[in-house]
Amino acid sequence: MFKEVITPRFYETDAYGHINNTVVNQWFETARRPIFELFARGPDIKDWCIILARTEVDFIGQTYYGKDVEIQSCIERIGNKSFVVGQEMYQDGGLVARGKAVQVHFDQQLQVSLPLTVEQIEQLAKWMKPGDQ
């Protein structure tokens, strides 16, 4: 499991007075940053070999401007060419959103999915929940 702390920004609110729902997907992407580094072949983002196949988000409570948010991410399942990231977002001690992201090892030049490497699987496994490995 790994964590990301995010300070809500004013432009991320909407006319309801809360953080807009679509921003939660942006924050969850941001919180998956350590995973992207596992799939970077070089300094250029164009050489990353990872894509997103699916996202799910449950909005459990409202998220507000003025208080930091903590996102906890863990790996829920490791497949042959893809894996599932589980994410939970907390504000003020309460769970406000929960999500899943299915990411795929993918060669952008060749446009084909690739088997996860041994190194990738080892690192992803370290981020599984205790008892899940």
Residues at the site binding a copy of itself, with contacts judged by CB under 8 A = 9-11, 13-18, 20-23, 25-26, 29-30, 33, 36, 43-46, 48, 51-59, 65-66, 108
Within 5-112, where are the H helices? Answer: 21-31, 33-38
Cβ closest to a copy of itself, residue 44 vs residue 119: 44
Phi, psi (rounded to 5 degrees) for 99: -145, 165
Cβ closest to a copy of itself, residue 59 vs residue 126: 59
Q: Contact, 56 vs 100, CB < 8 A? A: yes
CB of 23 to a copy of itself, least distance (A): 8
Cβ closest to a copy of itself, residue 35 vs residue 75: 35
118 CB-side CA count, 13 A = 0
For residue 57 the two structure tokens come to 């988000």
